Amino acid sequence: MANHKSAEKRARQTERRTAVNSSRRSRVRSSIKKVEEAIKAGDKKVAMDALKAAQPEIQRGSAARVIAKNAAARRMSRLNARIKAMA
């Protein structure tokens, strides 16, 4: 428990930041899941559309440090490669 004013403020800030970050992480994961489901269904056009929607979400997550920069690049690259392999 916080014992002084600055610690109490930091605790409040951390609470808000945690809520924001968890929603960002959730959006990133959901967008990736949509692409993977489209790939599994075998529909290339839907998968491409889902990837186009997911890329900005992944990039935003990377910029906000919710997901590591290289991990974001790797995810996008692998999803793109899987979609290309569908042809």
Per-residue pLDDT tens for 40-77? 999 999 999 999 999 999 999 999 999 999 999 999 99
SS3 87: coil
pLDDT-derived band of residue 1, with 50, 70 and 90 as boundaries? confident
The domain segmentation of the chain, as residue ranges, is: 5-84
Q: What are phi and psi for residue 34, nearest 5 degrees?
A: -65, -40
Mark out the alpha helices in 1-87 (DSSP H runs): 5-41, 44-63, 69-84
| 5-84 CATH, one of 1.20.140.10, 3.30.540.10, 1.20.58.110, 3.40.50.620 | 1.20.58.110
pLDDT above 80: residue 87: no
